[in-house]
């Protein structure tokens, strides 16, 4: 057992004994370390002003990922290298990204600049990126500039980020790798007492035992949702169990049958596998949050929190995903669609936790489509998300699976529409009307800040029509604003 967290900062190992369960990395940097270069903007992981970089060993290689420090809990950086904007200057010389930002006028009021610099620092160290404005804008989609200075920022990225890394971090990479290996150990972390603690077990058995003793504890994977409970809802979470050190829980395994994901597999690490399962899934994954959110946020967490507007559940339900759950003395699997019982309520017993998901691969005679509708294309919550799986024989639908998010208190299938479409001909659009009409009885959507009930229903019917049009052979490129592109797998 270890009662400290340890990380690397400025080339030195830092060990902290006092870490509060609700303490964020941003609070540590500004209030304890007095390093105020990292800024606080929105406090919820949307603006990117608080972006830092975390260096970790992934498959034995040093990888730097952007992270929103405002919602990253301090205990979650154990075993990582913490890099902030103060760390970039070496021997009195600006980092290449900082130099390009200065020379190409990428900073105006300057408040957002440290976050942009840190996001571009991770792009500078990313391998295999094709130099293009599109690559840059996708990378910094989670960083906002209120002064609308994006053009010079993109120019600075194009000028500095697409050559081989040649900075102090690259020069001492071998030394960093060795120190990160020194930080890696197999001891459980427990800081605090029985009433208030932060813990991080390294095995599933250890997690099951601890959670069995403290079923009121909050399980944290990426904190992209739980972090907002602290910063926006101002909730005090006295017992935090971070899952990020559990061996094997971050696995992503592909097979001819489908994709198996552990509960702590992030959107970033699972994106390629989901893209290969379906281009539409790859397109959906790339529109979940920002680069910072996808580097931390987990698919298992998105499912376990049970939001009615979570992006992944409708698509996963339609594909027939099964969920793995474990407790101290038992384990079970169940279809994902049965996990969501009611608003804010899931089929999860005290002390029981999600360990993974299995997503079946569509069969050759099945056609899968999913669409996300939101006010902004990037980094926005869905107003409506529709997912469709049609089993087809001789151009007729023999089975339909349809699910929507944002249309009910939980992600929910459309049994009336599914039944009405059985026997419908993909060659005859006149046979599709019964299915679209049945949606009216399948859902009773609410009006809220994102969309009206009328808009949601009309959009749901339009998405079903679009899915049927694509299934009938119409080109996606003809009827979509942007057709999904399997870039990462090419």
Q: What does the pLDDT look like over 100-142, one tens digit per residue?
A: 999 999 999 999 999 999 999 999 999 989 999 999 999 999 9
State residue 479's pLDDT score. 61
Please count the other Cβ atoms lying within 10 Å of the Cβ belonging to residue 77. Answer: 25
State residue 476's pLDDT score. 63
State the span(s) of the chain assigned CATH 3.30.43.10.
Answer: 190-242
190-242: which CATH number, 3.20.20.120, 3.30.43.10, 3.30.360.10, 3.40.630.10? 3.30.43.10
pLDDT > 90? residue 485: no
State residue 481's pLDDT score. 54
pLDDT tier at 333, thresholds 50, 70, 90: very high
Q: Across residues 56-71, what is the average pLDDT?
A: 95
For residue 161, the Cα-to-chain-centroid distance in whole angstroms is: 24
The residue among 95, 59, 65 whose CA lies nearest residue 80 is 65
**Region of poorest pLDDT, from 26-30, 274-278, 349-353:** 349-353
State the span(s) of the chain assigned CATH 3.30.390.50.
Answer: 366-479
pLDDT > 60? residue 356: yes
Architecture of domain 1-189: Roll (3.10)
Distance separating alpha carbons of residues 88 and 104, to the nearest angstrom: 18
State the span(s) of the chain assigned CATH 3.10.20.30.
Answer: 1-189
pLDDT > 50? residue 85: yes
- Report the topology of domain 366-479: Enolase-like; domain 1 (3.30.390)
State residue 478's pLDDT score. 63
0.85 surpassed by pTM: yes
The residue among 102, 116, 123, 121 whose CA lies nearest residue 150 is 116
* CA 317 to each of CA 31, 159, 268, 381, 401: distance values in angstroms, whole numbers, following the listed order: 44, 44, 21, 19, 9
The residue among 101, 106, 102, 63 whose CA lies nearest residue 83 is 63
pLDDT > 70? residue 181: yes
Distance separating alpha carbons of residues 199 and 207, to the nearest angstrom: 9
Burial profile 104-141: b = 16 or more Cβ within 10 angstroms, e = fewer:
bebbeeebbbbbbbbbbbbbbbbeeeeeeeebbebbbb
pLDDT > 70? residue 449: yes
Dihedral pair phi/psi, residue 350, rounded to 5°? -55, 130
pLDDT tier at 325, thresholds 50, 70, 90: very high
State residue 310's pLDDT score. 82
Considering only the top CATH level, what class is 252-360?
Answer: alpha beta
pLDDT tier at 59, thresholds 50, 70, 90: confident
Q: Mean pLDDT in the chain?
A: 93
What is the DSSP secondary-structure string of 348-395? Answer: --TT-EEEEEEEEPPPTTEEEEEEEE-SSSSS---SEEEEEEEEEETT
Token pair 């994709």 in the structure block, residue: 259
pLDDT tier at 475, thresholds 50, 70, 90: low
State residue 480's pLDDT score. 61
Please name the residues in contact with 32: beta carbons below 8 A apart, sequence gap of 6 or more. none
The residue among 209, 211, 204 whose CA lies nearest residue 248 is 204
Identify the DSSP state of 345: E
């Amino acid at each position: 057992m270890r009662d400290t967290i340890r990380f690397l900062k400025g080339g030195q190992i830092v060990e902290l004994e006092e870490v509060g369960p609700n303490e964020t990395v941003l609070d540590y940097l500004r209030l304890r370390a007095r390093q105020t270069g990292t800024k606080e903007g929105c406090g919820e992981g949307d603006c990117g002003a608080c972006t830092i970089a975390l260096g970790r060993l992934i498959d034995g290689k040093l990888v730097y990922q952007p992270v929103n420090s405002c919602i990253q809990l301090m205990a979650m950086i154990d075993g990582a290298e913490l890099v902030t904007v103060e760390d970039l200057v070496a021997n009195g010389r600006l980092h290449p990204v900082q130099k390009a930002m200065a020379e190409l006028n990428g900073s105006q009021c300057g408040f957002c600049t440290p976050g942009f610099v840190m996001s571009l620092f991770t792009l500078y160290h990313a391998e295999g990126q094709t130099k293009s404005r599109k690559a840059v804008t996708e990378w910094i989609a989670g960083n906002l500039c209120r002064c609308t200075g994006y053009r010079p920022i993109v120019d600075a990225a194009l000028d500095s980020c697409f050559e081989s890394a040649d900075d102090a971090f690259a020069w001492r990479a071998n030394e960093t790798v060795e120190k990160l290996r020194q930080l890696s150990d197999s001891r459980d972390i427990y800081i605090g007492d029985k009433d208030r603690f932060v813990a991080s077990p390294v095995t599933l058995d250890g997690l099951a035992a601890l959670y069995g003793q403290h079923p009121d504890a909050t399980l944290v994977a990426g904190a992209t949702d739980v972090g907002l409970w602290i910063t926006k809802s101002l909730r005090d979470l006295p017992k935090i169990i971070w899952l990020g050190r559990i061996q094997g829980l971050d696995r992503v395994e592909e097979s001819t049958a489908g994709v198996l994901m552990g509960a702590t597999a992030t959107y970033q690490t699972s994106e390629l596998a989901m893209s290969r399962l379906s281009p539409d899934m790859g397109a959906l994954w790339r529109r979940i949050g920002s680069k910072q959110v996808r580097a931390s946020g987990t698919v298992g967490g998105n499912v376990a929190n049970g939001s009615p507007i979570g992006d992944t559940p409708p698509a996963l339900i339609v594909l027939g995903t099964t969920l793995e759950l474990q407790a101290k003395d038992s384990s079970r699997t169940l279809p994902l669609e049965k996990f969501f019982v009611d608003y804010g309520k899931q089929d999860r017993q005290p002390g029981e936790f999600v360990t993974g998901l299995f997503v079946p691969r569509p069969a050759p005679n099945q056609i899968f489509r999913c669409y996300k509708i939101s006010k902004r294309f990037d980094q926005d919550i869905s107003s409506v998300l529709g997912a469709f799986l049609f089993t087809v024989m001789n151009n007729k639908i023999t089975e339909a699976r349809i699910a929507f998010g944002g249309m009910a208190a939980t992600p929910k299938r459309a049994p009336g529409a599914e039944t009405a479409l059985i026997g419908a001909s993909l060659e005859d659009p006149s046979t599709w009307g019964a299915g679209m009409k049945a949606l009216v009885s399948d859902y009773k959507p609410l009006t809220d800040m994102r969309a009206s009930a009328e808009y949601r229903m009309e959009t749901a019917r339009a998405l079903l029509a679009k899915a049927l049009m694509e299934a009938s052979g119409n080109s996606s490129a003809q009827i979509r604003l942007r057709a999904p592109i399997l870039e990462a797998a090419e």
